[in-house]
């Protein structure tokens, strides 16, 4: 008989979410969203239940509910086992902590390869870790996809991918690469709160409609800036925008399925009014995560908790606490997938050291929450009877047989005492993690099939010579 799982109680109740849901439907029907794209408006105008006034579009509730019903969430195999804890790491960062010097600089193609290897060894998923800033702009997104395919089993290959494809030409090349490599291809639309879209983003989606590609919607309203100041209002705006965006996709992208991206589902971000910056890792952000988990359950969206972010600029005590406490709370609330591993400074700075520390934090929490069987034999009554005053359990067979199973041995958060630590070089956690990063990179073995690599190289070479692709990134 297992010991009952530890869970977190409280949070939004069903009635409260029902109210938010109803209010979101009202907003969609009465206020609508701004869709600055003629082609998309033309498609939408064919549907009854859609009202268009200039670029403002409202949808009736039945269209929204239909979109929710038809949305689909294709989980990769590794995500179907509830016992698997998933970590998504990095999102196209342009600033990186150099492993040798500890200085912040722009990442390069070499860094991208090394970090992708690291991510693969650590079994992390999601987007490419960094942007190769030494590569021409029109090739960067292509290269990020290519390297993800070549060096990683999971990156850019499922519902957790969130990569940019900033022009039609780029999207076409990525599509070709994905087909060649047998990888997942999807396209995302980001809303710009409040209630509108980037025209260019819509244009790319519009041009891909004939291909039958799954598409997702995301939005990130910011409290007090692009959403009202209260967390509840920002969440309501997020629900409203997500559902409206999904409805739009459902009506225009009819050749494939559509979904709310689990990566940022019902995201609402706090904003620090003192430093004029997003705040990831704050107490309010942790609360928002807990509300998001409840909302994802309500709408049947896979839970991906964005708990691995921090406002800290270094892998320090602030980073550890913010990430650790946030992740533990989310795990107690039922999350088993977490994202943005390796990021510092509100998600703008990539640190390989931070990534391995995050993996250690995840393991720690897993071990706190692990399933434990309650059995009479585990009460070890006979052992208690047998070992008396002045004796020890250390030499017992039962201790020998079970000590490794009972207690997790951390790799980074080592349990040495002060003297031992000094003997081992008195290294900081940062130094330990740096060593671990290098060790892990060396352990990397995965590489894509040779024939596929040849195909990808051909496509990339073609892209390098493609003047239209280059022009698509210019004015």
Partner 1 sequence: MLEELKSAIIEGDEDLATELIKTLLDNGEKPGNILNKGLLKGMDVVGQRFKTYEMYLPEVIMSATAMKAAIDLLKPHISKADIVTMGKIVMATIEGDVHDIGKNLVSMMLEGAGFEIIDLGVDVSVKRIIESFCDESADIIGISALLTTTMLALERAIQLIRESTAGAKVMVGGAPLTHEYAEKIGADGFAPDALRAINLSKNLSGK
Beta-strand (E) ranges in 25-133? 33-34, 50-53, 56-59, 86-89, 96-97, 104-105
CB of 131 to partner 1, least distance (A): 6
Nearest to 363 by CA among 409, 322, 317: 409
Could you tell me which residues come within 8 angstroms of residue 381 by beta carbon, excluding any fewer than 6 positions away? none
CB of 346 to partner 1, least distance (A): 8
Could you tell me which residues come within 8 angstroms of residue 190 by beta carbon, excluding any fewer than 6 positions away? 197, 198, 201, 218, 219, 220
Helical H segments across 135-190, by residue range? 137-151, 168-181
Residue matched to tokens 């395919």:
149
CB of 73 to partner 1, least distance (A): 27
Nearest to 209 by CA among 187, 183, 240, 185: 187
CB of 115 to partner 1, least distance (A): 16
* Nearer CB in complex with partner 1: 137/462: 137
Residue 36, class by beta-carbon neighbours within 10 Å (0-12 exposed, 13-18 middle, 19+ buried)?
middle
* Nearer CB in complex with partner 1: 93/250: 93
* Nearer CB in complex with partner 1: 276/394: 276
Residue 175, class by beta-carbon neighbours within 10 Å (0-12 exposed, 13-18 middle, 19+ buried)?
middle
* Nearer CB in complex with partner 1: 131/155: 131
* Nearer CB in complex with partner 1: 164/353: 164
Neighbours of 184 (CB within 10 A): 15
* Nearer CB in complex with partner 1: 53/475: 475
CB of 441 to partner 1, least distance (A): 24
What residues make contact with partner 1 under the rule CB under 8 A? 92, 94-95, 105-106, 131, 137, 140, 164, 166, 192, 196, 198-200, 224-226, 273-277, 348, 473-475
Give CA–CA dist 369/366, Å, rounded: 5
DSSP assigned state of 6? P
* Nearer CB in complex with partner 1: 105/378: 105
CB of 34 to partner 1, least distance (A): 11
DSSP assigned state of 122? T
* Nearer CB in complex with partner 1: 391/468: 468
Q: Three-class SS of residue 199?
A: helix
CB of 331 to partner 1, least distance (A): 30
CB of 166 to partner 1, least distance (A): 4
């Amino acid at each position: 008989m297992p010991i009952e799982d530890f869970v977190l109680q409280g949070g939004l109740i069903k009635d409260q979410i029902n109210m938010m849901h109803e209010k979101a439907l009202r907003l969609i029907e009465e206020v609508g969203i701004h869709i600055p794209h003629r082609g998309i408006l033309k498609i939408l105008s064919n549907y009854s239940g859609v009202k268009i006034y200039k670029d403002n579009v409202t949808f009736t509730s039945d269209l929204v509910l239909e979109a929710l019903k038809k949305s689909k969430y294709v989980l990769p195999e590794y995500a179907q086992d509830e016992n698997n804890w998933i970590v998504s790491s990095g999102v196209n960062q342009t600033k990186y902590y150099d492993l040798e010097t500890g200085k912040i600089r722009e990442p390069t193609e070499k860094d991208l390869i090394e970090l992708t290897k690291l991510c693969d060894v650590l079994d992390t998923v999601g987007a490419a870790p960094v942007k190769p800033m030494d590569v021409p702009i029109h090739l960067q997104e292509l290269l990020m996809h290519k390297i993800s395919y070549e060096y990683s089993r999971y990156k850019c290959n499922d519902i957790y991918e969130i990569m940019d494809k900033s022009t039609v030409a780029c999207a076409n090349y990525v599509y070709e690469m994905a087909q060649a490599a047998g990888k997942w291809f999807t396209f995302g639309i980001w809303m710009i709160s409040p209630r509108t879209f980037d025209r260019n983003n819509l244009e790319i989606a519009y041009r891909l409609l004939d291909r039958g590609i799954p598409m997702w919607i995301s939005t990130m309203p910011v409290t007090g800036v692009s959403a009202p100041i209260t967390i509840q209002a920002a969440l309501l705006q997020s629900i409203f925008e997500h559902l409206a965006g999904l409805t739009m996709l459902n009506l225009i992208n009819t050749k494939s399925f559509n979904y709310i991206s689990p990566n940022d589902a019902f995201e609402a971000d706090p904003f620090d009014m003192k430093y004029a910056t997003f705040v990831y890792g704050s107490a309010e952000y942790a609360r928002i995560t807990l509300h998001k988990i409840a909302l994802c359950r309500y709408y049947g969206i896979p839970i991906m908790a964005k708990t691995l972010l921090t406002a800290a600029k270094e892998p320090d005590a602030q980073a550890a606490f913010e990430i650790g406490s946030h992740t533990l709370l989310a795990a107690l609330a039922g999350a088993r997938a977490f994202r943005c591993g390796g990021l510092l400074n509100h998600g703008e700075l990539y640190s390989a050291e931070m990534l391995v520390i995050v993996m250690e934090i995840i393991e720690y929490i897993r071990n706190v929450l692990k399933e434990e069987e309650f059995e009479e034999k585990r009460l070890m009554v006979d052992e208690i009877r047998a070992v008396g005053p002045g004796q020890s359990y250390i030499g017992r067979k039962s201790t020998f047989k079970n000590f490794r199973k009972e207690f997790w041995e951390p790799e980074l958060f080592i349990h040495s005492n002060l003297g031992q630590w000094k003997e081992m070089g008195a290294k900081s956690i940062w130094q330990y993690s740096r060593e671990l990063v290098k060790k892990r990179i060396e352990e990397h073995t995965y590489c894509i099939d040779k024939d596929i690599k040849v195909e990808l190289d051909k496509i990339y070479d073609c892209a390098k010579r493609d003047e239209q692709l280059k022009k698509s990134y210019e004015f």
